[in-house]
Amino acid sequence: MEPFGNWSKRPSTVDFSKSLLKWSHLEIVKCKKGEANDKRGLVQFKAFYTQDGNQYVLNETSRFRKVRGRWYYLDGVVKINTRQQG
């Protein structure tokens, strides 16, 4: 398996190629494994961004693998991609 991963489980509703977007911040929700002695890790996070003047939050759970002391993204599953109110 290639250590740099992919986003093959991305739902069709998540498409960043059609317009400009601006990432604002990232919130780590939960981590499983991923410590110094681990070889794999799982991170659940929320990524906040603005696209076409609307604010959104992307909720993803991502898998990582450590190769020669460095962590690499394997893949992720987007749970919810929602428009922020207000």
Its pTM stands at 0.70
pLDDT value at 1 more than 60: no
Give the CA distances from residue 20 to residues 3, 39, 45, in Å, rounded to whole numbers and listed in that order. Answer: 28, 35, 22
User: Measured between alpha carbons, how far is 27 from 16 in angstroms, rounded to an integer?
Assistant: 19
pLDDT per residue as tens digits for the range 23-70: 899 999 999 998 889 999 999 999 999 888 889 898 999 999 999 999
Q: Provide the pLDDT for residue 43.
A: 94
